[in-house]
Amino acid sequence: MGSSTYRICVCFTRKFKVAEVQPPTDVKEAFKKYAQGGTHMNADQLRRFLVEEQGEAEATLGDAEAIVQQILQKRHHISKFTRHTLTLDDFFHFLFNADLNPPMHSKVHHDMTAPLSHYFIFTGHNSYLTGNQLTSDCSDVPIIKALKKGVRVIELDIWPNSSKDDVHVLHGRTVTTPVELIKCLKSIKEHAFSTSPYPLVITLEDHLPANLQAKVAQMLTETFGEVLFCPSSECLKEFPSPEELKYRIIISTKPPKEYLESKSLNDKQNSQKEKDSGEDVWGEEPSKTAADEEEDDKIDNGRGDCNQDDKDEDDEDSDEKPHHAPVYKSLIAIHAGKPKGGLVEALRVEPDKVRRLSLSEQALEKAAESHGMDVVRFTQKNILRVYPKGTRFNSSNYNPLIGWMHGAQMVAFNMQGYGRSLWLMQGMFRANGGCGYVKKPDFLMKIGPNGQVFYPKENQPVKKTLKVKVYMGDGWHLDFKQTHFDLYSPPDFYTRVGIAGMPADAIMKKTKKKEDNWTPIWEEEFTFPLTVPELALLRIEVHEYDMSEKDDFAGQICLPVSELRPGIHAIPLCDHKGEKYNSVRLLMRFEFV
Name the amino acid, one letter, at 125: H
pLDDT at 482 (0 to 100)? 87
Please answer whether residues 347 and 367 qualify as being in contact, where contact means their C-beta atoms are separated by less than 8 angstroms: yes
Mean pLDDT of 292-312: 37
- The pLDDT of residue 277 is above 70: no
Active site residue 171: yes
How do residues 345-396 score in pLDDT, each as one tens digit? 999 999 999 999 999 999 999 999 999 999 999 999 999 999 999 999 999 9
In single-letter form, the type of residue at position 64 comes to: A
Model confidence at 283: pLDDT above 50: no
HEC profile of 13-71 = HHHHHHHCCCCCHHHHHHHHHHCCCCCCEEHHHHHHHHHHHCCCCCCCHHHHHHHHHHH
What pLDDT score was predicted for residue 291? 35
Least confident segment among 17-21, 88-92, 539-543: 17-21
The pLDDT of 242-247, averaged and rounded, is: 98
Q: What is the mean pLDDT of residues 197-207?
A: 97
- Reference 396, options 35, 77, 94, 131; nearest CA is 131
Q: Where are the beta strands (DSSP E) in 361-435?
A: 383-387, 410-413
Q: What is the pLDDT of residues 433-480, one digit of tens each?
A: 999 999 999 999 999 998 899 999 999 999 999 999 999 999 999 999
How much is the pLDDT for 547?
84
Query: Binning pLDDT at 50, 70 and 90, where does residue 79 land?
Result: low
User: Residue 28: exposed, middle, or buried by beta-carbon count in 10 A (0-12, 13-18, 19+)?
Assistant: middle
Q: Say whether pLDDT at 190 is over 50.
A: yes
Nearest Cα residue to 416 out of 192, 149, 220, 201: 149
Report DSSP letters for 142-210, one per residue: HHHHHHHTT--EEEEEEEE-TTSSSEEE--TTS-PBPEEHHHHHHHHHHHTTSS--S-EEEEEEE---H
* Residue 169 to residue 158: CA distance in whole angstroms: 5
Report d(CA 226, CA 247) in Å as an integer.
10
Burial of 111 (0-12, 13-18, 19+ CB in 10 A): exposed
Mean per-residue pLDDT, 271-275:
32
CA-CA distances (angstroms) from residue 294 to 3, 133, 210, 327, 342? 63, 23, 35, 41, 19
Half-sphere exposure of residue 5: CA atoms within 13 angstroms, side-chain side: 2
Q: How far apart are CA 430 and CA 438, in angstroms?
A: 9
Cα torsion 399, 403, 404, 405: sign: positive
SS3 6: helix
When pLDDT is cut at 50, 70 and 90, the band that residue 126 belongs to is very high
Whether the predicted pLDDT of 557 surpasses 70:
yes
Mean pLDDT, the chain, whole residue set: 86
More confident residue, 498 or 290: 498
Residue 187 scores a pLDDT above 60:
yes
Q: Which one is catalytic: 93, 118, 125, 543?
A: 125
Q: Is pLDDT above 90 for 107?
A: yes
Please report the pLDDT score of residue 490 as a whole number: 92
Q: What is the structure's pLDDT at 341?
A: 78
In one-letter notation, the amino acid at residue 593 is V
Give the pLDDT score at 40: 97
pLDDT band, very low/low/confident/very high, at 19 (cuts 50, 70, 90): low
Buried b (16+ CB within 10 A) or exposed e, 403-429: bbbbbbbbbbbbbbbbeebbbbbbbbb
CB-based contact 452:460 (threshold 8 Å): no
Q: What is the pLDDT, as a whole number, of residue 418?
A: 84
pLDDT of residue 315: 35
Q: What percentage of the chain has pLDDT greater than the value 70?
A: 84
For position 260, what pLDDT does the model report?
Answer: 44
Residue tagged active-site, from 93, 118, 171, 335: 171
pLDDT number for residue 21 = 83
Confidence of residue 432 (pLDDT cuts 50, 70, 90): very high
In this structure, of 266-270, 415-419, 557-561, the range with the lowest mean pLDDT score is 266-270
pTM: 0.86
pLDDT band at 28 (very low <50, low <70, confident <90, very high): very high
Where does the pLDDT of residue 342 fall: very low under 50, low under 70, confident under 90, or very high at 90 and above? Answer: confident
Asked if pLDDT for residue 560 goes beyond 90, the answer is yes
Q: In this predicted model, what pLDDT tens digit does every residue of 147-182 receive, in sequence order? A: 999 999 999 999 999 999 999 999 988 998 999 999
Has residue 333 got a pLDDT over 50?
yes
- The answer to whether residue 234 scores a pLDDT higher than 50 is yes
Query: 383 in helix, strand or coil?
Result: strand
